Amino acid sequence: MSLQHDGRLPLRQVWPDALVERYRAAGYWRGETFPGFLRERARDCADDVALVAGESRYTYAELWRESGRIGAGLLALGLVPGDRVLVQLGNVAEFVLTVCGLFRAGLIPVYSLPAHRLTEIVHFARKSEASAYVTAERYEGFDYRTLARELRTEVTAIAHVVVAGAAEEFNALDALGGDEDSLPGDPDPQSVAFLQISGGSTGLSKLIPRTHDDYIYSFRASNEICGIDRDSVYLVALPVAHNFPASSPGWLGALYTGARVVLSPGPSTAQAFPLIEREGVTSVGLVPPLALLWADAAASTQYDLSSLQVMQVGGAKLLPEAARRLREKLDCQLQQVFGMAEGLVNYTRLDDPDDIVLETQGRPISADDEVLIVDDQGNPVPEGSAGHLLVRGPYTIRGYHNDDSANARSFTVDGFYRTGDMVQRLEGGYLVVQGRATDHINRAGEKISAEEIEDHLLAHPAVFDAAVVSIPDAYLGERSCAFVIARGERSRAVELKRWVRERGLAAFKVPDQVVFVDAFGTTAVGKVSRRELRARLRERFLDESDAVDRQETR
Ligand code: OOB
């Protein structure tokens, strides 16, 4: 791929011409853009409340004005349209204002989560060739200015740091300003609007380029399926940068239709329930463990939750029994959501019968989502059997940014994305997730790559070998367990956990459990793939969990 004039890799997401025509003709891709729809809402819904976070409230007109100020301010710093800007903010108004500002300035947001630490942030900055970093003074007790300093030492291409709150030596988000006439015209709808991050099933997270046309289609269609309209009040309880609360239908779907977005600083019932009562929240998206907690707490809460119409549950498998419990305890509709940042999203429909809502993970958004279910050799399985889920369609990417080897692994020559999930398809196209083929741990919706953590453990001088596996967990769904063969004297489990944390990784990636073993018990045949090894260790753990030399857990 040839480089841009500034030496960077261009951002591209390209579908074959015939499909582009088909997606346009079908009305999926309408040539809309992020700045375009925000402008329209600022005109049509000017005085309606668009965004609520803590005590701050912004109407659509104010969202337009503030995002213009931030966008123009970033250009005034010296950034130019097309530059990539790493954004690390929590569930605060500044996240939405900044991202909308970036869209309006033709700058490309690169999303990260507040939980990410130096190693991850450096990786995103390098991989995206970012020129700036926008973050907050602090969030949940962590000082991001320290992280910003470390990042700038490691990645000198980060020319600007902008901080919400006390900025110290950096640029204050509040003080940004510039001439709104400097903002560019609307972008090409087929151009890349932002970079989302992958769950990272192998190694480090990959960057996912999503276009205006494809992403807007996904949340516009999701609005229809999820009953979001101008009267809706959508609560963001999960991290706002994650694809689920962003676009399924998420805060972007809500803004697209002129509804109200309410940001909860965290997902606890103590934080969210008062907001549901105060703002009259109608929809929320949660991961399964939170949904179960909420349902329990709802039974005895003093808050009025009667406005809540739909609770969406996704990100990890909701077992049928858990779904039944939710159904019994909740006074609102349950909707299962099975999606991925790479594209495909499945929903149970609001008028689906009970057995579908309780026992399936829904069906795709689009009639043009081409779903293939294949065996290990890539041949279609008989209808109703489980197999690998492959997909292509009007909002599923055809390639990651700047990652040829991941692209060779993750996409077929026909452009199907290999999701890594094992599913079964029922009549009507409903999918039941059976598990997955790739080695990652889905810890309450947070995806952890086994390989990435093994790599960090192996860097420890007292570790000879390590294998990280997922273990079923009653609360989290899955937790991570690291099997470790010591080199010489065994170090303590806490020391290895600290090691991983101090390597600059998000806390959710620290193994929940460390188990020392003398050997991995590979057979005389010798060579075993790491996948097979992990599967065996997992089985062994589950069979003999009492006998295994188990070290402390959390
Ligand atoms: C969502 O997106 P990601 O990119 O964090 O993770 C995608 C993966 C899927 O490939 C699958 O393994 C798992 O998360 N997953 C589910 C699930 N929803 C996601 N596994 C079982 N049941 C479900 N309902 O997690 C995401 C993106 C958009 C909407 C919803 C979730």
Name the residue with higher pLDDT: 204 or 344.
Answer: 344
Q: Which atom of ligand 1 is nearest to the CA of 196?
A: 4
Judged on CB neighbours under 10 Å (0-12, 13-18, 19+), 517 is middle
Q: Which atom of ligand 1 is nearest to the CA of 419?
A: 10
The band of 522, judged by pLDDT with boundaries at 50, 70 and 90, is: low
**What percent of the chain shows pLDDT beyond 90?**
89
d(CA 191, CA 273): 39
**Atom 8, ligand 1: which residue's CA is nearest?**
340
CA–centroid distance, 300 to ligand 1, in Å, is 30
CA–centroid distance, 252 to ligand 1, in Å, is 18
Is the torsion defined by CA of 433, 436, 441, 445 positive or negative? negative
CA–centroid distance, 449 to ligand 1, in Å, is 14
Listed range (153-162, 231-240, 430-439) with the worst mean pLDDT: 430-439
Is the torsion defined by CA of 286, 288, 293, 298 positive or negative? positive
Judged on CB neighbours under 10 Å (0-12, 13-18, 19+), 193 is buried
Q: What is the mean pLDDT of residues 340-365?
A: 98
**DSSP conformation letters of 150-162:** HHHHH-TT--EEE
With a 6 A CB cut-off, is 243 part of the ligand 1 pocket?
yes
For residue 525, is pLDDT > 60?
no
Backbone phi, then psi, for 411, in 5-degree steps?
-130, 140
CA distances from 158 to 76, 79, 505 (A): 16, 11, 20
**Each residue of 299-323: pLDDT tens digit?**
999 999 999 999 999 999 999 999 9
Would you state the pLDDT for residue 237? 98
CA–centroid distance, 209 to ligand 1, in Å, is 18
With a 6 A CB cut-off, is 343 part of the ligand 1 pocket?
no
The band of 343, judged by pLDDT with boundaries at 50, 70 and 90, is: very high
CA–centroid distance, 474 to ligand 1, in Å, is 19
Query: Over the chain, what is the mean pLDDT?
Result: 94
With a 6 A CB cut-off, is 253 part of the ligand 1 pocket?
no
Three-state DSSP state, 164: strand
Q: What is the mean pLDDT of residues 265-285?
A: 98
For residue 440, is pLDDT > 70?
yes
CA–centroid distance, 201 to ligand 1, in Å, is 12
Would you state the pLDDT for residue 283? 98
Would you state the pLDDT for residue 549? 44
CA–centroid distance, 121 to ligand 1, in Å, is 22
With a 6 A CB cut-off, is 421 part of the ligand 1 pocket?
yes
d(CA 484, CA 491): 10
**Each residue of 366-395: pLDDT tens digit?**
999 999 999 999 999 999 999 999 999 999
**DSSP conformation letters of 55-111:** TEEEEHHHHHHHHHHHHHHHHHHT--TT-EEEEE--SSHHHHHHHHHHHHHT-EEEE
Q: What is the mean pLDDT of residues 466-473?
A: 93
For residue 505, is pLDDT > 80?
yes
Would you state the pLDDT for residue 547? 47
* CA-closest candidate to residue 352, choices 330, 333, 327, 331: 333
With a 6 A CB cut-off, is 340 part of the ligand 1 pocket?
yes
**What percent of the chain shows pLDDT beyond 70?**
96
With a 6 A CB cut-off, is 436 part of the ligand 1 pocket?
yes
* CA-closest candidate to residue 132, choices 188, 184, 68, 176: 176
With a 6 A CB cut-off, is 346 part of the ligand 1 pocket?
no
Listed range (51-55, 101-105, 289-293, 532-536) with the worst mean pLDDT: 532-536
Q: Which atom of ligand 1 is nearest to the CA of 420?
A: 10
Q: b/e for 146-167, b at 16 or more Cβ within 10 A?
A: ebbeebbeebeebebbbbbbeb
Q: What is the mean pLDDT of residues 502-512?
A: 96
d(CA 230, CA 242): 23
Both tokens of 416, joined, read 């199907």
For residue 541, is pLDDT > 90?
no
* CA-closest candidate to residue 93, choices 63, 117, 114: 63
* Domains by residue range for the chain, with CATH: 34-186 (3.40.50.980), 442-552 (3.30.300.30)
**Atom 6, ligand 1: which residue's CA is nearest?**
340
Q: Which residues contact 62 (CB under 8 A, 6 or more apart)?
A: 50
CA–centroid distance, 383 to ligand 1, in Å, is 23
For residue 329, is pLDDT > 70?
yes
Q: Which atom of ligand 1 is nearest to the CA of 361?
A: 24
The radius of gyration of the chain from alpha carbons, rounded to an integer in Å, stands at 23
Residue given tokens 């369609």 in the structure block: 393
Would you state the pLDDT for residue 550? 47
The band of 546, judged by pLDDT with boundaries at 50, 70 and 90, is: low
d(CA 60, CA 218): 22
Q: At what angle do helices 288-298 and 269-279 cross, to 10 degrees?
A: 70
